[in-house]
Each structure stands twice: as C-alpha cells, then as structure tokens.
Chains A and B, each alone.
Chain A
C-alpha cells in the first residue's frame, strides 16, 4: 500500500522554542489516522509543515510522495485542509467564499460542497460573519471536502459541532475511507477519534510517544473488574498480584483495576467460590492520560 503521509526526522523549532522533534510518521492510503496529544504538543505544527505553511528546521516530509515545498501546488491540490484555528472571510456568504476557493482550486463548479453542506444542515447563502461558531466550523469542513481530496487533513474537526452533526461528520469520514481516501485528524480528546480511527499516534512535548492500532491500545488499557464471591474475602489475597492495582474489598465483592493479562487474578480468584465477574469497558481514556503525563512506557 502506498504511503499517504510520510515524515522522517521532521523537526521544527520556533527560535529556541520547541515545535516538534525528530518526528517519524507513516500514514497509509485509505487509513483514518487519529493524531492525539495535549494542547501545545505539536499537532498543529506537524500539520502546517505538511502544507508548507511552515518550513522545517530539519527532516523531510512527503504527501503522496510529493514534497511540500518543491511540489507545493501538487501537494496542496491533493489535500483538503481544515485549520485548527479556523478563520474565514466574514464579509462573504458561504457560497461566495466557496466560489472563491473553487476558483483558486481551478474547479468548474462547487464540487461536493452543496451536498456536504446539506448533510451538515448548513445554509450557504448566509453571511459567514453572522454564523455561530459551529456553523463556521461546518463551512470549514465543507471547503475541506468540496474537491473530493485524496488526503483530508483535519485539525480538531468536531470542535463546536453538536452531537448530531458529529455523527454526520463521522459518516463523511467513513465514506472517505470506503473510497480509499486518507483521513488524518488531530484532536486533544480521545473520544473524538476513538470511533473512527484505525490507528492513533500520540504526541507529547513535540515527540511521538506511541503509534498503534486502536484495538491493540485497547488491549493494553486498564480495565476495572468486579469479582463477586459467595462469602467475604480477605483483600490481602489480591493486593500483591501482578497487573492488578487499586484493589478494594466490599464484603464479598473485590473490585480492582487490571492492566494486561488477567491470568494471575483469575487463578487467585478461582481458589474461592466466584459467583460473578463483571468487566467494565477498557479505560482507554486513562491510558491516554498516562501517555499525556508521560507515565506509560512507549513500548
């Protein structure tokens, strides 16, 4: 499979201030990639380097094999981009602004814009300056999707969208993926990408901490387990077990958090009479917070 986005040792410093450091990243074509990290980690810097809005301090990047600087026009005609801090021409109507963009993209018409706008329930005839922030965000999304780009680079795409519109946005992303197109979306919250991303990369303080399939990460995330016993149980029996932490005992119910294999826990529990096992959803959020704080190991 061809690589849609490739960076190698990509580094950007603003004077002495860190942007990103030695970033290696490969996003395959047809993949939905979630780019996660706390604010200021370097997500926007990475994206703006790919668009040649910034020039790298060192390292290289390619989009569909093309160089952002030497073939900037080629790169940018393949990309649909939604800026993180979206600013639009407030004195234009939606149609006027999209027409302006379509002209600069050398399109003959507004492309997919009318359909996308309709799905997002956006009135394109209204003056952009009068729109709510959620509706402005929709204008941003429409212009990113309008030319049916091979690569969508969306910086914090669902900010300001109501839950119904978020659903519609997820469908748009899903359809783009079905089409074999690539979607690269950044976010500082996991929930935004959890349902649509195939893989996620987590960046922290300018460095990539982990790049992993979402499913693999889920297996690695801590889970809360409740073990119900026939009679009260001594907490001490469970406290020292590997992979088990945060043990609390309430009469005949042992509650604990497990990271990784539950083998030792189940073996120990089996020595008593287990009446029920309740497993809670993997706490991916907790794992991400650990990565954000720099606590999780990057293996």
Chain B
C-alpha cells in the first residue's frame, strides 16, 4: 500500500516536471495531435489540442483526467471489497462480530479506515504534483490543485463505498469487486464519450465522474455542489451497507 502510494507520487512528480519539455515541443505535438481521433483525445480529457499545453490541460491529460481517478478508484474499491466481504471470506469476521460491537460500528470503522487510506493517496497525489509543479515553476494554483486532488478522493470514496455496500449485502468479495469496477468502467466510458456522442451527453450527469471533473477543479477550484453530490452518493452507499449488513447471517 505504502509503495503503491509512493510510486504514484513519484510518477506524478516526474510527469509534472516534464511539462517544460513538453511545452517546448508544442508545435511538434500539435501536428501530431491533429491526426488523433477526437474520441481518443477525449479519453485523456483533452477537448482541443491547444488546451493540452496549458498547465491545467497538461495535468488533466497526464494525470487528473484518468490516472488520479484510476488510482483513487482502485484503492477505494479494493479497500471497500476487503472491508466486510474480504474479512468474511477470510473467516475473521466471526471473531470480530463475536466481540461486543454492533455491526453498524464495524461498518463505520471500516469506512473510517477507507477514508484515511484514500485521503492519504489524495495527499500523495497533491504532494507529487505540487513538487513537480514547483520544480518547473508551472503556473497553477495550489488551492485548485488541492481541490482537484480532493475531488479524486471523493470519487474514490463513491466507488469504495459502493464496493463496501455490495460486500456488506452479500459477503462476496469477488462480486463486490466486479460490480464496483464494472460500474466504474461504464461510468468512465460515458463521461469520456459524452462530449462526442450526442445520446450519451444526457447520461453524463448521471455518472460520478461528471461531479468529479466536469467543472474543471484545476481551473475553477472545488465545486461545493458537485462535491456534495459525491459525498451524498457515498453516504447513501454506507446506509445501504449498514442496513443490509445488520439484517443478514454471517457466513462461515
């Protein structure tokens, strides 16, 4: 876990620090990009070639458009699936629930642990990018960088709590991983293709990714309403997790 976060930080430092080099090659890249299909550019969060060379455009395409959500999602889902279902499949849930604690308490403790881990990753993301940005004197607001990192944390929590809920309801870790990753993949594809596929445009606000990045936190800072939607979704999944987990038998 620690190595994973350290690796991400290292990558982000490196990626951010190569910004200057990238901008120097702007004309070469521009001619190259002209040949790329729009869909592929959209996949990396690039809506027009020129935007790619602004600091926020660069960071979006290189990190916050796909890598950061991928990291926080993977961590959130992994922890969420392990929290109840993983522990149940390992057999340690019997020992834990035989202690004088309520199941609600167990869910909330697991949620707390998940939040701390994903938040640590978010802090790692911020630190890595910030170090790289300072090193090459990139024109980017640290507050907005923090806002974008925190949005990534919230997005990770949405899918983490979804995995937690599926695991709490069923006790099946594989199912929990599968459902949460599947939903994440579909949501990611919708948000990616929404700008270029008309009929997907309407579905875009239905995905958590919309509330993660649509208002461009690297430029505009944190959108409290959008952050609220992500927190609300997480809270809903936690409620589902608690409600279902309290009602059922624990498997051996």
Contacts and interface: CB of A to CB of B under 8 A. Distances in A.
Interface of A: 14, 44, 48, 51-55, 72-74, 76-77, 79, 81, 83, 85-89, 101, 104-106, 143
B101 A83 contact: no
Interface stretch (B18-26, B92-100, B203-211): B92-100
B139 interface: no
A79 B249 contact: no
B102 interface: yes
A54 B99 contact: no
A89 B92 contact: yes
Contacts of B252: 44, 48, 85
Given A73-B101, A104-B99, A87 B250 contact: no
Contacts of A143: 95
A55 B249 contact: yes
Q: Which 10 A-B pairs have the closest CB atoms?
A: A87-B91, A77-B100, A81-B98, A76-B100, A73-B100, A53-B250, A83-B94, A104-B99, A54-B249, A87-B92
8 contacts: A48-B252, A53-B94, A53-B98, A55-B247, A76-B101, A81-B95, A104-B96, A143-B95
Interface residues of B, number: 17
Interface of B: 90-92, 94-102, 247-250, 252
B138 to A, nearest CB: 40
Contacts of A73: 100-102
Contacts of B250: 48, 53-54
Q: Is the interface of B mostly helix, strand, loop or mixed?
A: loop
Nearest to B91: A87
B26 to A, nearest CB: 49
B99 to A, nearest CB: 5
Given A44-B252, A53-B249, A54-B250, A101 B94 contact: no
Given A53-B250, A54-B250, A83 B95 contact: yes
A117 B252 CA distance: 26
Nearest to B252: A85
A51 B100 contact: no
Centre residue among A48, A74, A87, A106 by max chain B CB count within 10 A: A87
Centre residue among B94, B101, B250 by max chain A CB count within 10 A: B94
Contacts of B247: 55
Given A51-B97, A52-B97, A85-B252, 12 more contacts: A44-B252, A53-B94, A53-B98, A53-B249, A55-B248, A76-B98, A76-B99, A76-B100, A85-B91, A85-B94, A87-B91, A104-B96
